[in-house]
Amino acid sequence: MKNNMTKALGLGVLAGFAAMSAEAGENSSLLKKLVEKGVITEGEAAVLAEEANNEWNDAAALPSWVQSLTLKGDLRLRYDHTHDNPSGLGGAEDRWRYRFRFGGTANMQNGVKTGFRLASGGTSDIGSTNTTFDGGFARDNFYLDQAWAQMDVSGVTMIGGKNPNFEKTGWFVSKALFDGDITPEGFELHYSTESGSSDVGFHAGAYFVQGEDDPSKTLDLLTMAQITAKTSLSDTTGLTLGLGVYNVEDEGIDETSSRSGNSASGVGYTPVFIDAALSMKTGPGVKLYATYVNNQESSATDDTGLIAGIKFGSAKKAGQWEAKIEYRSLEKDAVWDELTDSDFGAFGANGSVDTYKSGTNVEGTIVQGKYMIYDNVQTALTLLTTESEDGTDGETNNRIQADIIFKF
């Protein structure tokens, strides 16, 4: 009875002390003092130390999915300048902006993964998470940007919810056609198989453009499919190819589009896009890439787009740099303009020469340089030189973006 009481007393004191201190050495000192005072024997001290350690470990143990939880985010500060329209019909614009994103992923059991992300910005442009410094110090909005689940079954990856951007989930696409900030809502499947030194992938997705929230509306979908192939041409050279197509229904376009580079309603969008990228691990690294797109709908006449570029280096760690130059030309109805790069625009792109608009009916070049100051701090400078593709404006427009990005 005495031994049990002594053991309980010693264990209680030890547990209380352990709750206030994570140092094993301090717990050992306490037991030593109890032995010296004759409260417990050395044998009992050894048993108490082992039991306390086991109970502490059990209490501290977390479910595997919690242990796998990974949190990350980034903050981008940007100076964004758009030159005057040379015709004098559009005014110059200087904006100081920020983008903040924070999210996480967790690995569940049996190949299941879930993720979420919050982001700054608004809801009017699906291709932007920027917030402009204005509004007299008013608090800014923060939105749910991603909420998805992923399952891997027999080599097939299934993703559903408000998904990560297309290029993050397995699609091989150009940012010119699919803005990097878009997070589509729906379901997608990805499957890849190896054949020698090649990897062939099959991808399919169905995304909700307009939900059927009342009997008067139809369910409008954006459906998409792509075949990709990656192969090694040598130890230092790799080639990636992609052939894809998507379709979006007219009604969904009419109800949701916030841009106006496309023609009026009645033009359908079923663009076929062909992508190619050649990567060479020589010197700083070189990548040549190109995309050709053509809208297959008979109602579209200005239906073609071309993107081509070259990139040197890769800014991933402190001291690394990269530079690229890219040419883009998107005719008015080559693709659905709501998906395109929100930064690439021109005066006259939407038929109005006094408004700078992104979307389609734009052509020009992008020159960009990036440098990593630290492993988690990157700087970037981008020059966009553009004009309306159909000559509505007939003048060259310049836009400059200077960024500093903090990642954590």
Q: What is the pLDDT of residues 110-162, one digit of tens each?
A: 889 999 999 999 887 888 999 999 888 999 999 999 999 999 999 999 999 99
| Dihedral pair phi/psi, residue 29, rounded to 5° | -65, -40
| Angstrom distance (rounded) from CA 47 to CA 43 | 6
Strands (E), 90-130: 93-107, 112-119
Q: At a CB cut-off of 8 Å and minimum separation 6, what does 162 contact?
A: 144, 145, 146, 147, 148, 183, 184, 185
Q: In 3-state terms, what secondary structure has residue 67?
A: helix
pLDDT at 20: 41
pLDDT at 41: 86
pLDDT at 46: 82
Q: Are 321 and 296 in contact (CB under 8 A)?
A: no
CA angle 297, 256, 123 (to 5 degrees): 140
Q: Which helix (H) or strand (E) holds 18?
A: helix 2-20
Q: Are 365 and 372 in contact (CB under 8 A)?
A: no
pLDDT at 30: 78
Low-confidence ranges of the chain (pLDDT < 70): 1-27, 54-61, 84-91, 211-219, 250-260, 264-266, 348-355, 393-394
| Angstrom distance (rounded) from CA 344 to CA 336 | 15
pLDDT at 273: 98
Two structure tokens written together for 244: 């894809």
Considering only CA atoms, which of 146, 68, 71, 137 is closest in space to residue 108?
68
Q: At a CB cut-off of 8 Å and minimum separation 6, what does 185 contact?
A: 161, 162, 163, 207, 208
pLDDT tens by residue, 227-256: 999 999 999 999 999 999 999 875 555 545
Block residue for tokens 């500093």: 404
Q: What is the largest CA-CA distance in the chain?
A: 98
Block residue for tokens 């143990």: 61
- Please enumerate, as own/partner, the contacts of 381-386 that have beta carbons within 8 Å and a separation of 24 or more: 382/343, 384/343, 384/344, 386/344, 386/345, 386/346, 386/362
Q: At a CB cut-off of 8 Å and minimum separation 6, what does 48 contact?
A: 7, 10, 11, 14, 31, 40
pTM, full prediction: 0.81
Q: Which helix (H) or strand (E) holds 9?
A: helix 2-20
| Angstrom distance (rounded) from CA 224 to CA 207 | 8
